[in-house]
Amino acid sequence: MDTSSYKPGLEGVIAGISAVSMVDAEKNELLYRGYDIHDLVKHCSMDEVAYLLLYGELPERAALEAFNQRIRTDREVPPALYELFRTMPNNAHPMDRLKAAVALLAMFLPEDESNLRKAERLYAKLPTLVCASWRISQGQEPIAPDSSLDHNASFFHLLTGTPRTDYLAHVFNVTQILYAEHGFNASTFAARVTVSTLSDLYSGVVSAIGTLKGPLHGGANEAAMEMLQEIGSPESAQQWVRDALVQKKKIMGFGHREYKHGDERAKIVKGYAKELAERTGNTLWWEISELVEAEMLAAKKLHPNLDFPVASVYYLMELPIPVYTPIFVLSRTTGWSAHIIEQLENNRIIRPGHLYNGLEKRSLAPR
């Protein structure tokens, strides 16, 4: 068998052409529709970046107002969704609850709308689903959406009952923008594969949610925080990492298929992790994180990816760990949708080949 054309994990394989984002691993650069993420996190709200990813340009004032109006008045979800959450096992993972909820939600939404409109509906309704799901699983009542709030303030309102527009909301905005899009990552590719069969946008997003759940992808933000908790103290950090590497364990929140010299997104969030630690006076996670990072660089030449600093940032925001990956979904749905729309504009079914290593042809005797 000639395996020379096979690339495990499709590493280095060009699987499509896209104008949504550019990942330049050599220059450590990430552009959304041509804009550098450094500029986007400095000057834009998540709502503006959602518009940018979906429509290709940053909105002028009137377009942004109209977009906000559509999003903010579309946050309600059908009551059947709340019933669904009440019938689910409370200990089911929030990503599993969300996957089922989006599949059900899709059946209540108009089928004959444009994909852009469907994408807007998901961006509007996902925070309501994520927060209601979590609250119901914790024995709390869901909170009705407030159409006067932006994406970030609304998220805190839906989760806790209190909107935020302070420094924490700003940091949340930064993480949402950085989670929104990232080329042909596994969940985006899954979404593109799904709609390449001419299945619908919602099915593409359900596939993507299932794909994002895994700890090698979006699930790493939760796994990274659980790891920091397991390490527990700065004194244990170096030895913990050494032992884990001897056991060939993956250290969650480190390494990346594309970035070999560091992930700019992680560097941006790391600044906030430090500032939050100082502002809250809780420097434990920062201290452990610094030691884990130094050990990973020394032992494996591996840098943190976005999920590593996000973990301690969300922890200091007092967000529940099982909701970290669903929070990733809230903004990545815009990147997924942009890719789904792009895929369908120039579609060919995605159907790669494989090499066969099973049994030789054999005869079947009458039975």
Q: Is 303 one of the annotated active-site residues of the chain?
A: no
Q: How many residues sit close enough to ligand ACO to count as binding (CB under 6 A)? A: 18
Stretch that binds ligand ACO, among 55-63, 91-99, 255-263, 287-295 (CB under 6 A): 255-263
Select which of 74, 303, 307, 339 is catalytic.
307
332 sits near ligand ACO (criterion: CB under 6 A): no
Kindly tell me which residue out of 177, 251, 273, 288 binds ligand ACO, with binding defined by CB under 6 A: 251
324 sits near ligand ACO (criterion: CB under 6 A): no
Least Å distance, CB 203 to ligand ACO, is 22
305 sits near ligand ACO (criterion: CB under 6 A): yes
244 within 8 A of 284, measured Cβ to Cβ: no
333 sits near ligand ACO (criterion: CB under 6 A): no
303 sits near ligand ACO (criterion: CB under 6 A): no
Least Å distance, CB 176 to ligand ACO, is 13
132 within 8 A of 88, measured Cβ to Cβ: no
Q: Is 261 one of the annotated active-site residues of the chain?
A: no
254 sits near ligand ACO (criterion: CB under 6 A): yes
Q: Is 217 one of the annotated active-site residues of the chain?
A: yes
Known catalytic residues? 217, 256, 307
Give the interface with ligand ACO as residue ranges (CB under 6 A). Answer: 9, 216-218, 220, 250-257, 300, 302, 305-307
